[in-house]
Amino acid sequence: MNTTGSITLAKYVLAKLGQMPHLKLQKLLYYIEAWHLAILDCELIPDKFEAWMHGPVLRNIWYHYRDYGMMTLNNLVYIDEHEKNTVEKIMEQYLVQDQIELINDVLNEYGDKSAYHLECLTHSERPWVEARKEIEPAEKCSNEISKKTMKEYYSKLLYQQ
């Protein structure tokens, strides 16, 4: 999946769950990638997640949806009906059934959580914390979140249950 693919994945999330804050969309994409790394042992999104002050962010998704408003909770990201009708077919063309099932499982697990809840959750987890290093929580940061650390961390969570 390339950057166009990550935008398609974002649209898939919106098609499945409906409109949501940009902040929540970013966190759901992060958790999709994290669990894909842990369970299927490979990345789904080749783009780099950055450890922004409000949690993990894909810069290309931020640029794509920035006109909907910054990452506030009041400005909702959405897709139109035409996109909803085509995005699922596109996903099925590029992904295998296990990947689609994993994405849907992540959406079922995290989709009912608020943007703020997901932000707090990512702030408590090792991948974001390590990427931020000594940077204060309210300071800007664009450090990359290590996919290796993501894979290790979420794999451990998977096998603790």
User: What is the rounded CA–CA span in Å between residue 112 and residue 140?
Assistant: 28
Q: How confident is the model at residue 26 (pLDDT cuts 50, 70, 90)?
A: very high
- Give the global pTM: 0.91
For 42-98, the pLDDT digits (tens) are 999 999 999 999 999 999 999 888 776 554 445 567 777 888 888 888 888 889 999
CA distances 49 to 90, 134, 160, Å, are 23, 18, 25
Q: How confident is the model at residue 161 (pLDDT cuts 50, 70, 90)?
A: low
Q: How confident is the model at residue 13 (pLDDT cuts 50, 70, 90)?
A: very high
**Domain positions in the chain:** 3-160
**Residues sharing a CB contact under 8 Å with residue 53, sequence separation 6 or more, in sequence order:** 137, 138, 139, 140, 141
HSE toward the beta carbon, residue 9, CA cutoff 13 A? 32
- Are 117 and 45 in contact by the 8 Å Cβ rule? The answer is no
